[in-house]
Amino acid sequence: TFGQGAGCAADLQYWEQTARQIRRCAAGDKIVVEKSTLPVRTAAAMTRILGSGDSRAHFEVLSNPEFLAEGTAIADLGSPDRVLIGGNDTPAGRAAVAELVALYSAWVPRERILTANVWSSELSKLAANAFLAQRVSSINAISEICEATEADVTEVARAVGMDSRIGAKFLKAGVGFGGSCFKKDILNLVYLCESYGLKAAADYWRQVVDFNNHQQERFVARMLRAMFNTVAGKRLALLGFAFKADTGDTRESPAIRIASLLAEERAVVVVNDPQALDNARRDLSACADRIVFEADPYRAVQDADALALLTDWRLYRELDYARIFAAMRKPAFVFDGRNALDHEALSRLGFNVYAVGKSPRTNA
């Protein structure tokens, strides 16, 4: 957020302080393990700091990035897809890698423990998150085509995902990705590419983030068109604010941008989430005078003109939508930003249903 590389580069002041503290306190040789997502070649800088001055200790720096998903971190740690350990290709480096491999071997099958050089390990974490985010933006780009051509993005994703070369994961269209990692790591990758003069690669990865922003703007624009080209003065209930279900984390949540854009259109925005309301108040403080925060989903939709599902909490799939329809103003609209609801059933109740990547189901 400041200085050269602002908005893209990682803030590295804290790892440097940590490295200096380790050097100051170490009484003997140490293996230092990077767990955070760091730019490629950070380990080299850390090694220089640890080895500077009058320190007599020897340090081996390993890269061991975390591949844990929020909401399932404990399960991911207990049964990981893989553990990646990067070290120097020297006798001391190989010995340090072997120590960490032995530690993980207590519960992780050896074939799931991968070893690499430090730079490959550091880059792999950035690349993994970039690939996952790219899949989200890719299927969302297809969703835009589906809406224009009356194709169904769920059917397209199923057909594409059954190709064993592609697979079905992260092919669910919606309002875009959020969380603390994807955007940060992609922009870190963009900055890395730019630092090495790799403009085409930087532009390619930046487009993943740009399209994610576009998807949220497009979602709001579709709401406006469906609701007679204005939402001014209309009550809009946003169901869900966390970036994904089963967490209260709202960092980079698509709901922040969507709620803000709707507030700019002078809608009465009502935010509901079972865990994230406190964070939502903080995230929307700039437009808090136009936002209502409501803990009860049924109260949130009372007299609403539309509801928009932004987080696919199980709670929202199990609501009584007949009761909700009766409580809303007519015509009543549902905008399913996660394609998590039963659209046919909602249409039978009388809702006008707009789902991402699908043709609308309209009623009078």
Task: Mention every residue, 6+ apart, whose C-beta is less than 8 A from residue 147.
Answer: 222, 356, 357, 358, 359
Q: Which of 172, 314, 187, 349 is nearest to 239 (CA)?
A: 314
The CA radius of gyration of the chain, in Å to the nearest whole number, is 24
CA 213 to chain centre: 12
**25 included as an active-site residue:** no
Residue among 278, 270, 273 at smallest CA distance from 301:
270
- How far is residue 59's CA from residue 70's CA, in Å, rounded to a whole number? 32
Residue 24, class by beta-carbon neighbours within 10 Å (0-12 exposed, 13-18 middle, 19+ buried)?
A: exposed
Tokens (6 digits) for 132: 């996952």
Q: Which residues of 73-109 are buried (b: 16+ CB within 10 A; e: fewer)?
A: eeeeeeebeebbbbbbeeeebeebbeebbeebeeebe
Q: How many CB atoms lie within 10 A of CB 115?
A: 17
One-letter amino acid for residue 120 of the chain: S
DSSP output for 70-115: TTSHHHHHHS-S-EEEEE-SSHHHHHHHHHHHHHHTTTS-GGGEEE
How many other C-beta atoms lie within 10 A of the C-beta of residue 349?
Answer: 16
Residues 8, 25, 146, 181: which is the catalytic one? Answer: 181
Contact 161, 168 (CB under 8 A): yes
Region of 10 on the Ramachandran plot (φ > 0 left; ψ -120 to 50 alpha; else beta): beta
Residues with catalytic function: 181
